[in-house]
């Protein structure tokens, strides 16, 4: 919770600093009712936390393309419907690497040679003594996803600097089970976000934001559903029509 507060505070101060550079009387009407926004975005989470999800030590990278449609707009608030296609989702997870056959008694295989066996670990491996011929490593799993339903709310919608909050949900398909073996390669996703959107012109803008991002198989795994929670920081560039 403390990290999220620090991140949101940082985003606010960055946005405030940018706003101080705006020309006087700068206004935009990009978020009028019926307007469209097309966004390219990417972001990263350096670690996972334990809230809804119970899996530690996971890192998350995502890159996507978004379409947003303004449903309603008042003088100060714009309500947008959002759809995101996520062609790149990378989950990095800790592993233990052994030489083949060296699981029960390392001394039985002189020199510790042979093919490798990779065992996944749910918990972080920091500080763990694995003995000779075994070492902590990481393995990255590729996935792609779709977030077909979401909503954004932009405040101060006519100004150059606009705070925003949002929510969305969807799914992701990976090349192997995520976050552990015997869970599922197909997972559902959910996120809550907050940040700032800064207009460089009436039809172009940057977004810097934070997401609480959740990945879960909704108990469709066999037998595991540990889930992944991430503090996901991302940036986007938008075209407005």
Q: Which pLDDT score is estimated for 56? A: 85
pTM assigned to the model? 0.79
Per-residue pLDDT of the chain (241 residues; tens, 9 = 90+): 555 565 556 556 665 655 555 455 568 999 999 999 999 999 999 999 888 988 888 999 999 999 999 999 999 999 999 999 999 999 998 887 765 443 433 334 445 555 556 666 555 556 666 666 676 788 899 999 999 999 999 999 999 999 999 999 999 999 999 888 888 999 999 999 999 999 999 899 999 999 999 999 988 877 778 899 999 999 999 999 9
Token code pair at residue 100 = 């083949």
Strand partners, 201: 204
pLDDT, one tens digit per residue, over 107-157 is: 344 455 555 566 665 555 566 666 666 767 888 999 999 999 999 999 999
Q: Which pLDDT score is estimated for 100? A: 47
Considering only CA atoms, which of 76, 86, 236, 43 is closest in space to residue 156?
76
Q: Which pLDDT score is estimated for 204? A: 95
164 in Cβ contact with 202 (< 8 Å): no
CA distance 227 to 169: 15
Q: Which pLDDT score is estimated for 54? A: 85
Domain boundaries, the chain: 95-140
Q: Which pLDDT score is estimated for 112? A: 56
Q: Is 217 left (phi over 0), alpha (psi -120 to 50) or beta?
A: alpha
SS3 sequence, the chain? CHHHHHHHHHHHHHHHHHHCCCCCCCCCCCCCCCCEEEEEEEEEECCEECCCCCCCCCEEEEEEEEEEEEEEECCCEEEEEEEEEEEEEEEEEEEEEEECCCCCCHHHCHHHCCCEEEEECCCCCCCCCCCCCEEEEEEEEEEEEEEEEEEEEEECCCCCEEEEEEEEEEEEEECCCCCCCCCCCEEEEEEEEEEEEEEEECCEEEEEEEEEEEEECCCCCCCCCCCEEEEEEEEEEEEEC
Q: Which pLDDT score is estimated for 20? A: 57
**Using CA atoms in the order 104, 106, 112, 114, what is the torsion angle rounded to 10 degrees?**
-10
64 in Cβ contact with 104 (< 8 Å): no
CA distance 138 to 8: 29
């Amino acid at each position: 919770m403390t990290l999220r507060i620090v991140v949101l505070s940082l985003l606010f101060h960055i946005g405030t600093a940018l706003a101080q550079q705006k020309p006087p009387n700068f206004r935009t009407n990009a978020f009028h009712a019926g307007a469209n926004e097309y966004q390219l975005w990417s972001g990263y989470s350096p670690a996972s936390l334990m809230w809804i999800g119970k899996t530690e030590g996971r890192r998350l990278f995502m890159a996507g393309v978004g379409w947003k449609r303004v449903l309603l707009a008042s003088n100060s608030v714009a309500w947008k419907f959002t759809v995101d296609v996520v062609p790149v989702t990378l989950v990095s997870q800790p592993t233990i690497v052994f030489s083949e056959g060296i699981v029960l008694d390392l001394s039985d295989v002189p020199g510790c040679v042979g093919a490798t066996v990779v065992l996944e670990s749910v918990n972080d491996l920091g500080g763990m003594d694995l003995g000779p011929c075994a070492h902590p490593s990481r393995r990255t799993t590729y996935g792609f996803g779709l977030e077909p339903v979401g909503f954004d709310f932009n405040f101060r919608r006519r100004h150059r600097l606009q705070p925003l909050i949002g929510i969305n949900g969807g799914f992701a398909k990976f090349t192997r089970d995520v976050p552990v073996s015997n869970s599922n390669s197909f997972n559902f996703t959910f996120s809550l976000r907050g940040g700032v959107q800064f207009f460089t012109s009436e039809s172009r803008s940057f977004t810097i934001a934070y997401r609480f991002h959740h990945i879960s198989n909704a108990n469709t795994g066999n037998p595991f559903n540990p889930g992944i929670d991430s503090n996901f920081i991302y940036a986007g560039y938008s075209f407005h029509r």
